[in-house]
Structure 1
Amino acid sequence: MASPHLALATNKLQSSFGSFTAALNFCLKGMVSFKEVAFGVACVGVGASVGTILILHLKADLLRLLIPIFLLLIFVYTLLSPKMGEGDRPAKLKVPLFYGVFGVGLGFYDGFFGPGTGSFWTFALVSLLGFNLKKATAHTKVFNFTSNFISLGMFLIGGHVIWAVGLLMGVGQMLGAWVGSNLVVRQEVKFIRKVFLSVVGATILKLFWDFLH
């Protein structure tokens, strides 16, 4: 059986393929401006580096219980807010403050543990920066790729990765990410909202199942 660090590193490898493919597609479609996200990317990189260094020395057992609870709150809030993310709204936080807090924080979380990071990013971008759901999803993939790539690099320094498995899963990730990102571009916000709720719900069930077993 692979060690937890090997499993985490291999997951970062395959996730990097998917998040890069989706992020690239969104950038090519003009949904993300690098100038807009540059500071956020830097903050995510700092957080992911620190988080990965810590997970190499600590256990994430407490997060296995807390994160499903946080995701459940997001699920319920989104379910009860049918208009959430339909259009751009005024930001509740200044952009530098948002990325300074959530960029570092979510980057750290993704480096340290990871599950549900995309859902946290999308929710934060919609609720605090006022992004519509399409724009939030596109930006989420850029930040996901950043933390995945930085975390993978830290794991590689320690020699923690199963290349054959990670690369094989990465191919599937690329195909899925390309199809999924194109659906985001073409579909209405209501469709994206349904997918978002489905992904969050499935993640909650998976994390609770893992915790109980």
Structure 2
Amino acid sequence: MVDYLVLCAAAFLAGLIDAVVGGGGLIQIPALFTALPNVPAATLFGTNKLASIWGTSAAAATLARRVKLEWSTAVPAALAAFVLAFLGAYTVTRVPPDFMRKLLPFILILVALYTLKKKDLGSLHAPVHTGLKEKVLAVIVGGGIGFYDGFFGPGTGSFLVFLFVRFFGFNFLGASAVAKVVNVACNLAALLWFGYSGHVLWQLGILMAAFNIAGSMVGSHLAVRHGSGFVRKLFLIVVGSLILKTGYDAFLK
């Protein structure tokens, strides 16, 4: 009973963080591994996807009603992410992601340093691409991150936010909204794969999903209320946490 309460609390907090900048897996996945140490890792990942997809969907719906969501970018990016996430999941069964495990902390450090250096990055929402160029770039970003999410995964939401700010000219709040749509596509692809493979604890996942949705609603309202400055600060906190977590996993664990 205590384990279930801990998992529900973790799901709520993960939904809150994920709704703003991504990175909810930092909280939810370790909680699942701690509470259920004898359950296969694939099943825990599948259960995490079931819990998180509902919270991410709720956050996407909330942000779409409250801020201008760039659907012309979000739709092609989400479609590409859905397809490539499947390919990434297939690839990880053939190629161990050990090299990515060691490379990831350094990529995240570069992202953090770039964001800190560019003080005005993501403060204004001024999309810089339209038409075919926008769609092609969206497919490249969505497909690349979708493959990464299926192949490895940590920090997917944060990478999406950064890329939409850096290469599309979105502010942090607008980038977070588009990132949610793409993240739903990634999670759906992974959930279909895990569900087909029998690696989902459905009852636990649905219970955690309810708390994840509640957390995502709180996080979405905080993001809209406090704006891009708040999202930027939380983004840097989450990226810093990811650097510590992935660095520990890669070199000290």
**TM-score of the pair, normalised by structure 1:** 0.91
Report the Cα distance in structure 1 between the residues aligned to 2:129 and 2:74, rounded to whole angstroms: 17
1:90/1:175 Cα in 2 relative to 1: closer, same or farther (>3 Å)?
closer
The answer on whether the counterparts of 2:67 and 2:224 sit within 8 Å (CA) in structure 1 is no
1:27/1:189 Cα in 2 relative to 1: closer, same or farther (>3 Å)?
closer
Paired residue for 1:73? 110
The answer on whether the counterparts of 2:173 and 2:224 sit within 8 Å (CA) in structure 1 is yes
Report the Cα distance in structure 2 between the residues aligned to 1:167 and 1:132, rounded to whole angstroms: 33
Paired residue for 1:12? 49
Q: Deviations over 1:91-110 (max 9, x none)?
A: 27921221221111101111
Write out aligned runs for 1:34-183 (5 A). 34=71, 36-89=73-126, 91=128, 94-183=133-222
SS at match of 1:14: helix
SS at match of 2:99: helix
The answer on whether the counterparts of 1:60 and 1:113 sit within 8 Å (CA) in structure 2 is yes
Report the Cα distance in structure 1 between the residues aligned to 2:204 and 2:44, rounded to whole angstroms: 10
The answer on whether the counterparts of 1:52 and 1:155 sit within 8 Å (CA) in structure 2 is no
Q: Deviations over 1:68-117 (max 9, x none)?
A: 21111111111121111010345279212212211111011111211111
Query: For this pair of structures, how many residues does the alignment match?
Result: 213
The answer on whether the counterparts of 1:18 and 1:170 sit within 8 Å (CA) in structure 2 is yes
Report the Cα distance in structure 2 between the residues aligned to 1:88 and 1:171, rounded to whole angstroms: 32
Contiguous gaps of at least 5 residues in structure 1: none
Report the Cα distance in structure 2 between the residues aligned to 1:205 and 1:147, rounded to whole angstroms: 24
CA deviation after TM superposition for structure 1 residue 31, in Å: 2.9
Report the Cα distance in structure 1 between the residues aligned to 2:242 and 2:204, rounded to whole angstroms: 22
CA deviation after TM superposition for structure 1 residue 33, in Å: 5.2
**TM-score of the pair, normalised by structure 2:** 0.77
Q: Identify which range, 46-55 or 119-128, moves more after superposition.
A: 46-55
Contiguous gaps of at least 5 residues in structure 2: 1-37
TM-align CA RMSD: 1.9
| Match status 1:195 vs 2:234 | yes
CA deviation after TM superposition for structure 1 residue 3, in Å: 2.8
Report the Cα distance in structure 1 between the residues aligned to 2:212 and 2:88, rounded to whole angstroms: 24
1:110/1:62 Cα in 2 relative to 1: closer, same or farther (>3 Å)?
same
Q: Deviations over 1:1-27 (max 9, x none)?
A: 333322322222222122111111112
The answer on whether the counterparts of 1:27 and 1:33 sit within 8 Å (CA) in structure 2 is no
1:66/1:188 Cα in 2 relative to 1: closer, same or farther (>3 Å)?
same
